[in-house]
């Protein structure tokens, strides 16, 4: 029984570490809310989360001003925050 508890504790601590990770993301911008420093994105599957749609906070205001619906971006997401905070945003205007 104690080995089962230890295994469960190790598994939980590993998943907690991943949940708080800063991870690279590939996404498509769905909408932008400059007044609240937020954007709605559709992101590809991550190690820490399945593919999905999420409202994120954009840490860099200048990146937020250049983001438009339909554009592909790469960024770093801090998944320990709610909503996720994205930084190091790069626009991929020519990506298909």
Q: Can you name the residues that pair with 40 across neighbouring β-strands?
A: 31, 55
Nearest to 43 by CA among 25, 56, 59: 25
Strand partners, 22: 78
pLDDT tens, residue order, the chain (96 aa) = 444 333 333 333 334 444 568 999 999 999 999 999 999 999 999 987 899 999 999 999 899 989 999 999 999 999 999 999 999 999 986 655
Domains defined for the chain, CATH in brackets: 2-91 (2.40.50.320)
pTM: 0.75
């Amino acid at each position: 029984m104690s080995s089962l508890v230890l295994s469960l504790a190790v598994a939980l601590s590993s998943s907690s570490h991943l949940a708080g990770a800063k991870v690279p993301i590939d996404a498509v911008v769905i909408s932008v809310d400059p007044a609240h420093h937020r954007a709605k994105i559709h992101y590809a599957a991550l190690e820490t989360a399945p593919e999905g749609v999420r409202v994120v906070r954009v840490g860099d205001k200048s990146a937020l001003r250049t983001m438009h619906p339909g554009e592909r971006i790469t960024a770093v997401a801090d998944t320990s925050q709610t909503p996720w905070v994205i930084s190091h945003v790069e626009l991929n205007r020519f990506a298909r």
